[in-house]
Structure 1
Amino acid sequence: MRFLLNISTHSRDLEFAGPQWRQASALLQETGFDGFELYPVSGYDCGSIPPHLIGGVHLRFFVMLRQIWQNDYQGLLRLFDTEDNIRMYYGGTTRDAVVKCYRDQLALAHTFAVPYVVFHPVHYELDYVFNWQPPWTWQETIDLSAEVINEALQGSSYKGWVLFENLWWPGNFRLDSTREIDRLLDRVNYARSGIVLDTAHVFNKNQDLRTEEEAIAYLLRQVDSLGHYRHLIKAVHLCKSLSGDHVRSGMRAPDPFRGARTFWDRFSLALDHVQGIDVHDAFDHPSIGGLFERIDPDHVVFEFSFRSMQEWRSKIERQKIALGDVFPAKGDRKS
């Protein structure tokens, strides 16, 4: 297994990376990690990143895809209020903007020669972020997502793995059953397709989880239920979120967007809520090691949120301790 940290090209993360990414390189050396899973943000010259630091690329998470993919301009206006907002969010007003974004990022992944990219099979809208009652099915979302990634991959020079990440919202790819995997892989026209298992996203499905030990036991049952499909898990986003009370509070809110006058006001409220659901904390309980008795991924990403280098280092060390021998000395790892 190769162990990676997450980083983006948002300005805040770039401060942690430091000039010429020297601080980022030093952090890898200090902590014994092999590289970073990169979330590229438009407007930054990723050519300035030393290629050997990047071990994977997380493709853009648009969240709202149906209307733009169907070139439904009126539907987009209902979501975004104005054409300027649509352009700001997607880089255009038609599906071509989405395809261009993904093809550019796949080209970047090819340039970095990374072994995998991450793609979210998702469609979600702000109106349902709090109540979790979308009027569409997971089947519709998977079919839509397969169309998007198939078109993005056409003519792409990228030849590594495309890994599909689970989320927690109903009507999306949640790994609730192997039927979701069958439907997705039957529709994706790309042989090297697999799964990236996000452990916190599994927890976020279940608002009854109270303790970390209870949550890990739930995770292991969920993974066991996948049977032989577990071999498709090529990467893990390893982090925890125990946020059932926060989710229930949002579901009870009679008017969660009260006072929001613009799309960006609503978007900000929704984003704050989502960050309260998916807190990207570190594991502390050693039973998390049991996950790696069930699966043997090629890549494990310590996917954390952090506001300081001190907080980042603290989460890294806590989770390394929880993993014990699962996180071996760098020279002892399988390539």
Structure 2
Amino acid sequence: MLELTNLSNADCDVENLLQNNAETLPAILREHGLDGIEFMRCAPWDRRMYPEELIKGVHLMFWPTWLDFWRGDRAALMAELGSEKNIRAYYGSLDVADWVEAWKQNLRQAAECKPHYLVFHVAHNRTSEMYTREFSASDEDVIRATIELVNELVPEIPQGCRLLFENLWWPGLTFRQPHLAAMLLEQVNYADTGFMLDTGHLMNTNLNLKSEAEGAAYVLKVYRELGEVGRRIYGVHLHQSLSGMYTREMMRRHQGTHRSLSWREGMDYVLHVDRHEPFRTDAARWILDTIQPDYFVHEFLQRSRADWESKLRTQRYALGFL
């Protein structure tokens, strides 16, 4: 089992986490006994700051809202984004083929890192649906569209690299319908597929959770209900999110409204729902002991190097590693 942490090469991470120092990342991994990182490429790759041998997985880019663009639903796109200029800014083009090429380019960039695995988000939502959770697309709609998209991308997936589909709480892969998870693996034309189970995202699908123990028990309940398909969970993004009270309040407050959100409003909402907090109790250990993934990632929202290391220590202590 490889023990990893998440890291991007966005400017904020280079400055706030690595402090523009190539020695920081190896030092943090040594200090906390980690095997490497799950990397997200947001900028040209500086191999000095992010050595290839430390990159074990790559998280692919994603667009939270994409199904309407893929389907060519111009009316829905205009309602969501307001103008052709905004559509072009969001997807990089008005042409779906150009957008697919951007995916392929991201896969070629990922291949340069020679990772063990890739992570692909399987979800879609319109910002106008975020507060209310009254979704226009079903889980099956998103799964079927994801199968279509991924099958166009398969030629660019580096051979010998696992493609792991990650769950969210939006329509798509939520793990609450095992037959849809199975369909995703069966119909994607790439042999080495599986899942990256995100524990916090799964907890976000249950608004009644009050404690880490309840959260971990819920994760394991859903895992057991997956049956045989659960054996294809090869990785775990480990963190906790107990945001049901906030989510319910926002649903109550915005009932009946369907206003598209600004980028800032959407991010503020997501950060309140998807908290990426470390586990502080041994409930974390229940998850790893039961699933026994090949990779697990301490996945946090890190504000500084000190914050990052504090969260690593907290969760590693909860796991009994300290």
Give the TM interval when normalised to the shorter protein: over 0.9
Counterpart position of 1:274: 270
Distance 1:311 1:152 in 2: 37
Distance 2:166 2:283 in 1: 23
Counterpart position of 2:201: 201
Counterpart position of 2:45: 46
Unpaired runs of 5+ in structure 1?
328-335
Distance 1:255 1:220 in 2: 32
Instruction: Name the Cα RMSD after superposition.
Output: 2.0
**Cα pair 1:166 1:173 within 8 Å, conserved:** yes
Distance 1:279 1:272 in 2: 11
- What letter is aligned with 1:104? Q
SS at match of 2:135: coil
Counterpart position of 1:93: 94
Per-residue CA deviation, residues 9-34 of structure 1 (Å, 9 max, x unaligned), is 22111112243632122211111111
Counterpart position of 1:189: 189
- What letter is aligned with 1:94? D
- What letter is aligned with 1:299? Y
TM-score for both structures, normalised by structure 1: 0.89
Counterpart position of 2:83: 82
Counterpart position of 2:128: 127
Counterpart position of 2:284: 288
Q: Residues 285, 234 of structure 1: CA spacing in aligned structure 2 closer, same or farther, 3 A cutoff?
A: same
Counterpart position of 1:317: 313
Distance 2:215 2:207 in 1: 10
Matches within 5 A, 1:259-270: 266-270=262-266
Matches within 5 A, 1:101-140: 101-140=102-141
**Cα pair 1:3 1:299 within 8 Å, conserved:** yes
Distance 2:35 2:256 in 1: 42
Distance 1:155 1:168 in 2: 28
Distance 2:99 2:18 in 1: 28
Counterpart position of 1:304: 300
**Cα pair 2:131 2:254 within 8 Å, conserved:** no
Per-residue CA deviation, residues 19-71 of structure 1 (Å, 9 max, x unaligned), is 36321222111111111111222xx2115332112111111120111122123
Distance 1:134 1:73 in 2: 18
After TM superposition, give the deviation of residue 310 of structure 1 in Å.
Answer: 1.2
Distance 2:255 2:265 in 1: 12
Distance 1:216 1:202 in 2: 10
Counterpart position of 1:332: none
SS at match of 2:262: helix
After TM superposition, give the deviation of residue 257 of structure 1 in Å.
Answer: 8.1
After TM superposition, give the deviation of residue 133 of structure 1 in Å.
Answer: 1.2
Unpaired runs of 5+ in structure 2?
none
Counterpart position of 1:212: 212
**Cα pair 2:132 2:255 within 8 Å, conserved:** no
**Cα pair 1:130 1:256 within 8 Å, conserved:** no
Distance 2:26 2:71 in 1: 42
Matches within 5 A, 1:162-181: 162-169=163-170, 171-181=171-181
Distance 1:20 1:153 in 2: 36
Distance 1:33 1:156 in 2: 26
Distance 1:18 1:151 in 2: 39
Distance 1:165 1:105 in 2: 17
Distance 2:256 2:21 in 1: 42
Distance 2:312 2:285 in 1: 15
**Residue 4 (structure 2) pairs with residue 8 (structure 1):** no
Report percent identity of matched pairs. 32
Distance 1:17 1:84 in 2: 35
**Cα pair 1:70 1:95 within 8 Å, conserved:** no
After TM superposition, give the deviation of residue 118 of structure 1 in Å.
Answer: 0.5
**Cα pair 1:122 1:141 within 8 Å, conserved:** yes
Counterpart position of 1:33: 34
**Cα pair 1:250 1:256 within 8 Å, conserved:** no
Counterpart position of 1:243: 243
TM-score for both structures, normalised by structure 2: 0.93
Distance 1:51 1:34 in 2: 12
SS at match of 1:92: coil
SS at match of 2:5: strand
Aligned residue pairs: how many? 319
**Cα pair 2:182 2:229 within 8 Å, conserved:** no
Counterpart position of 2:161: 160
Q: Residues 155, 316 of structure 1: CA spacing in aligned structure 2 closer, same or farther, 3 A cutoff?
A: closer
Counterpart position of 2:226: 226
Counterpart position of 2:72: 71
SS at match of 2:7: strand
Distance 1:271 1:282 in 2: 20
Distance 2:248 2:177 in 1: 24
**Cα pair 1:107 1:158 within 8 Å, conserved:** no
